[in-house]
Structure 1
Amino acid sequence: MIRLLFNTINNCTKLFFVILLLLSTRHIVVGQKKSQKPNVIFIYADDLGYGDLSAYGATKISTPNIDRLAKEGLKFTNAHATSGTCTPSRYALMTGNYPWRKKGTGVLPGNASLIIPTDKITLPLVFQNAGYKTGVVGKWHLGLGSPGKDINWNKPLKVGPNEVGFDYAYFFPATSDRVPTVFIENHDIVGYEKEDPIEVNYVEKIGKEPTGKENPELLKLLASPDHGHSNTIVNGIGRIGWMSGGKRARWADEEIAHVFLDKAEQFIEENQKNPFFLYFSLNDIHVPRMPSTEFKGKSKMGLRGDVILQMDWTVGEILKKLKSLGLEENTMIIFSSDNGPVLDDGYADKAVELSEGHKPAGVLRGGKYSAFEGGSRVPWLVRWTGTIKPATVSNALVCQIDLLSSFAQYFQQKIEDTEATDSFAIMDALIGKSKIGRESIVKQGGALSYTKGNWKYIEPSTNQPFNKLTGTELGNDPKPQLYDLNKDPGERNNVASQYPAKIKLMAEELARIKDAGGSR
């Protein structure tokens, strides 16, 4: 009886300590989860306008997966790329520097040298320095190889995304309408065969392959006149530039979205136990718009509408992947676009006719290439479950150029005064804890503009005011322009003549920023 009592007490004691250990362990796990660095996925759409999503008022098309980010997180109404075109916006995102400060940061050909410095801080390096695994999947368009040297496509491409902070890279060099039309994984062209060497030229025709100009009967997607999409035909589509060789390595446009999604999901799976940063740079909705079969005709808005739906599906698949891996709560997702919208950008895909009733830029004036707001005010959604309050809307002035300094501040990293000179640390605004973002912003869309508070000044420009090829108002005017964006977000009423003192002040402030070599 005594032994039974002793064993019972002993077992109860053991049970008590087991329960205590489990409780203690549970406390440790919870504590680790709360203190863990969040994964960050930046999803970058291409040529997506402020009014192209149903979360931003579109009624002719529905984007439920992207809308979820707004419902479950934060929607910005005053968010910006630095530029009205892709390469400069991406340069600013990566470096924290305004692109107009450096020559050669305009829209690059497919054989351009790398324009990102390899010896300066970059956005992916901030994450690497914080112990993250970093990856880029998708469009690159920031050049490859050392400056001043021709790219040899038949050897490993050793100067590119990996050299500016990405542990893993799966991308194509420029845009899908430019040669070379190949995927690159880290330093190697996927599917390359040495028996079929690749050559690329943007000055003169090379090889004997058919071109869109000489063989229009071979095209499955006709080019718009005078846009330049009349050179080497790949997958039935004329491209900008000439290419020979690499037959097995060339992509089919219809597969691009699926290939990039597969690689993005693979990166997430392989790094699910580590903090990771993924720069997921979508091909959609850039031309040539060639969705996979499952999305063709689905939107009733033609190919442009179809690729918007494909883009939305892609975002939905990323959300599913995060949920399946249990990463929803500890992953910050940022969704934005590199510049404003364009309908006819080089191919006869009936985007203009079939968009009737849809306003790609919403209430904004202009679009891609423009100094008006439609050129660079873009959708921006952020979801970080448990940190960002659902269905939050912010009018804080934010810019993609600020991500570098904001994450550096978050990780308590010091940025040298000579680096990321135009990037501001505004993390509280970026996650909805503050309604105050940056004080002002300089943007380029041909002419430079300067926005401070509700006032926007566009400096005088004698360049053409209208792009006849794309049908876009460029915002160029030999006279200064001034708009009150609170009262006139569509920039219809130039009030420069009513506020000469304001014009003088803003012109002087813009000049000081240009001369200073940095904003912060």
Structure 2
Amino acid sequence: MKSKNVLLGMAGVAMFSSGAMAQKPANIILINLDDSGNGDFSCRGAIGYQTPHIDWMAANGMSMNNFYAVQPISGASRAGLMTGCYPNRIGFAYALNPGSPYGISEQEETVAELLRDKGYATAIFGKWHLGDEKKFLPLQHGFDEYYGLPYSNDMWPFHPQYKFPDLPLIKGNDIIGYNTDQTRLTTDYTNYAVDFIHRNVNKPFFLYLAHSMPHVPLAVSDKFKGKSELGLYGDVMMELDWSIGEILRTIREEGIEDNTLVILTSDNGPWANYGNHAGSSGGLREAKANTFNGGTRVPCFFYWKGKIPPASVCNNVYSNIDILPTLVEISGAKMPKLKIDGVSMLPTLTVDPTIAARKYLCFYYHKNSLEAITDGRYKLVFPHKYVSYDGQVPGNDGLPGELGEGEVKECELYDLRRDMGERVNVISQHPEVVKDLTREAEVWRDELGDDLTGRQGKARREAGKSVKAAK
């Protein structure tokens, strides 16, 4: 049956591609939320507020129910999203701090570069986090327009512990202000995005709307303040839902809905120790900065009228590194010259949601530690220490709670089909699965290395470096 599905997928994609060639290449809108969890939308069980526009996307598009951020932290996750690579392949780890001498390398081709070479207008409005020196900023990596923050909105004057340097707001390559009023961010990003769509209806465009919210410190405009029954976090989610509704309304009014793919996802799971200012993982284990599902399994919805079946569901494993090759195939752009790790999801999206283009996904974290691997159903977790939220008292009203430390002392295996929360270790019941996943992990240790087992890897590339890093 699987081989039949693959053949159907190949035939369907071939028909799709030939049809797409006859018209303007599809517009692409990629919306990336910051620290939003699987339980943050009313279609996923959120209580105290409604997200009708996101719910509408889910009802009229495809819900990816086994979708992962490639790493459970902002900068590394976004590096994977933009390049289609495991972040450690391209020298990325953690989240870059202000003034970091590192950033995205000029040898890496971002999805924006690939699409611009195909004739797309490209823009990013929101958070970048791939380096804050000029050589690392979006305009040097495929984007025609940029307005937003170079890194997280808590860096640093708005952080409970650190207070400097000031937080810059950037337009193009220029700093246009510091320590901006964050109640404006969601509205401003949305207005820039809507204007970009209006200006580019007659040519293909790639819009990357990278919201700063719901990352702490939370902020919301007056029109949504106090609107939810869940305090400030609910207000913020309602405004983000409004933003997505504005994007959907604009493509509909411009008559380009049939030729526009809209993607909604999140960079990692919720920052749970912020308590009432944090989102919900939907009952998954742990949270942000952790390779258990609460940190990596993120919401993802695809909407494309007439191309993606309404109310469809995909349960196969995919990651945000798979977005780049998918968009390359949709647009007819060229793949990057250097090796990437993503696979195209197009057959799954447009032909049959049961088609599984990806067989395995690795969970690297910290500098280069292979902490787990999954085949979509089973997840093998290797011995490692991790930041733990379990049993800790969360913070309140913008202040973080304490964090604990957990440890996996021996390998653990979880059946994600039956135990999405990773509570029951079934390693003794499935020795053949353990053998298969261990064998695949060895392939990746040889390729990319693994600090946990002392492996260097043979195919890692360096991140970009500033002059001060080279000294």
Equivalent in the alignment of 1:214: none
In the TM superposition, what is the alpha-carbon distance from 1:499 to its structure 2 partner?
3.8
Task: Output the CA distance in 2 between the equivalents of 1:473 and 1:429.
Answer: 39
Aligned with 1:506 (options 437, 442, 453): 437
Letter in 2 for 1:101: R
Aligned with 1:454 (options 356, 359, 377): 377
Which protein is bigger by CA-based radius of gyration?
A: 1
Matches within 5 A, 1:155-170: 157-170=134-147
Moved over 4 A (4+): 31-34, 463-475
Please tell me whether residue 424 in structure 1 is matched to residue 343 in structure 2: yes
Equivalent in the alignment of 2:468: none
Alpha carbons of 1:135 and 1:88: their partners in 2 closer, same or farther (altered >3 Å)?
A: same
In the TM superposition, what is the alpha-carbon distance from 1:508 to its structure 2 partner?
3.1
- Could you report, residue by residue, the CA deviation over 1:351-382 in whole angstroms, capped at 9, with x for unpaired residues? 37xxxxxx811132221112211111111111
Task: Output the CA distance in 2 between the equivalents of 1:501 and 1:136.
Answer: 45
Aligned with 2:287 (options 352, 362, 367): 367
Letter in 1 for 2:175: I
Task: Output the CA distance in 2 between the equivalents of 1:32 and 1:367.
Answer: 40
Letter in 2 for 1:302: G
Matches within 5 A, 1:31-50: 35-50=23-38
In the TM superposition, what is the alpha-carbon distance from 1:58 to its structure 2 partner?
2.4
Task: Output the CA distance in 1 between the equivalents of 2:334 and 2:20.
Answer: 25
In the TM superposition, what is the alpha-carbon distance from 1:342 to its structure 2 partner?
2.1
Letter in 2 for 1:96: G
Matches within 5 A, 1:22-61: 35-61=23-49
Equivalent in the alignment of 1:153: none
Aligned with 2:352 (options 404, 414, 433): 433
In the TM superposition, what is the alpha-carbon distance from 1:187 to its structure 2 partner?
0.7
Matches within 5 A, 1:18-417: 35-145=23-133, 157-179=134-156, 180-191=166-177, 249-345=178-274, 350-351=276-277, 360-415=280-335
* SS in structure 1 at match of 2:119: coil
Contact 2:61 2:309 in 1 (8 A): yes
Task: Output the CA distance in 2 between the equivalents of 1:465 and 1:250.
Answer: 31
Letter in 2 for 1:280: L
Letter in 1 for 2:421: G
Letter in 2 for 1:493: V
Contact 2:72 2:290 in 1 (8 A): yes
TM-score by length of 2: 0.81
Letter in 1 for 2:320: Q
Percent identity, aligned pairs only? 34
- Could you report, residue by residue, the CA deviation over 1:416-472 in whole angstroms, capped at 9, with x for unpaired residues? 56332x111232124453422311101235562100141101110144555756567
Alpha carbons of 1:104 and 1:453: their partners in 2 closer, same or farther (altered >3 Å)?
A: closer
Task: Output the CA distance in 2 between the equivalents of 1:473 and 1:270.
Answer: 50
Alpha carbons of 1:181 and 1:166: their partners in 2 closer, same or farther (altered >3 Å)?
A: same
Task: Output the CA distance in 1 between the equivalents of 2:241 and 2:402.
Answer: 26
Letter in 1 for 2:425: N
- Could you report, residue by residue, the CA deviation over 1:165-195 in whole angstroms, capped at 9, with x for unpaired residues? 111111211111104322211111125xxxx
Contact 2:387 2:404 in 1 (8 A): no
Equivalent in the alignment of 2:446: 515
Task: Output the CA distance in 2 between the equivalents of 1:43 and 1:416.
Answer: 22
Task: Output the CA distance in 1 between the equivalents of 2:388 and 2:422.
Answer: 15
In the TM superposition, what is the alpha-carbon distance from 1:57 to its structure 2 partner?
2.7
Superposition RMSD in Å = 2.5
The farther-off stretch of 443-452 and 130-139 is 443-452
How many residue pairs were aligned? 411
Alpha carbons of 1:502 and 1:450: their partners in 2 closer, same or farther (altered >3 Å)?
A: same
In the TM superposition, what is the alpha-carbon distance from 1:335 to its structure 2 partner?
0.4
Task: Output the CA distance in 2 between the equivalents of 1:454 and 1:124.
Answer: 32
Contact 2:97 2:155 in 1 (8 A): yes
Task: Output the CA distance in 2 between the equivalents of 1:76 and 1:296.
Answer: 31
Alpha carbons of 1:265 and 1:453: their partners in 2 closer, same or farther (altered >3 Å)?
A: closer
In the TM superposition, what is the alpha-carbon distance from 1:33 to its structure 2 partner?
10
Instruction: Name stretches of at least 5 consecutive residues in structure 1 with no aligned partner.
Output: 1-30, 146-156, 192-248, 353-358
Letter in 1 for 2:245: G
TM-score by length of 1: 0.74
Task: Output the CA distance in 1 between the equivalents of 2:180 and 2:128.
Answer: 16
In the TM superposition, what is the alpha-carbon distance from 1:343 to its structure 2 partner?
3.5
Contact 1:371 1:476 in 2 (8 A): no
In the TM superposition, what is the alpha-carbon distance from 1:408 to its structure 2 partner?
2.3
Contact 1:136 1:166 in 2 (8 A): yes
Alpha carbons of 1:413 and 1:36: their partners in 2 closer, same or farther (altered >3 Å)?
A: closer
In the TM superposition, what is the alpha-carbon distance from 1:135 to its structure 2 partner?
0.7
* SS in structure 2 at match of 1:507: helix
* SS in structure 1 at match of 2:413: strand
Task: Output the CA distance in 2 between the equivalents of 1:128 and 1:80.
Answer: 27
In the TM superposition, what is the alpha-carbon distance from 1:132 to its structure 2 partner?
0.6
* SS in structure 2 at match of 1:428: helix
Contact 1:441 1:451 in 2 (8 A): yes
Alpha carbons of 1:102 and 1:57: their partners in 2 closer, same or farther (altered >3 Å)?
A: same
Equivalent in the alignment of 1:480: 411
Alpha carbons of 1:394 and 1:159: their partners in 2 closer, same or farther (altered >3 Å)?
A: closer
Task: Output the CA distance in 2 between the equivalents of 1:108 and 1:67.
Answer: 33
Alpha carbons of 1:412 and 1:350: their partners in 2 closer, same or farther (altered >3 Å)?
A: closer
Task: Output the CA distance in 2 between the equivalents of 1:296 and 1:42.
Answer: 26
Instruction: Name stretches of at least 5 consecutive residues in structure 2 with no aligned partner.
Output: 1-18, 157-165, 393-399, 449-458, 461-471
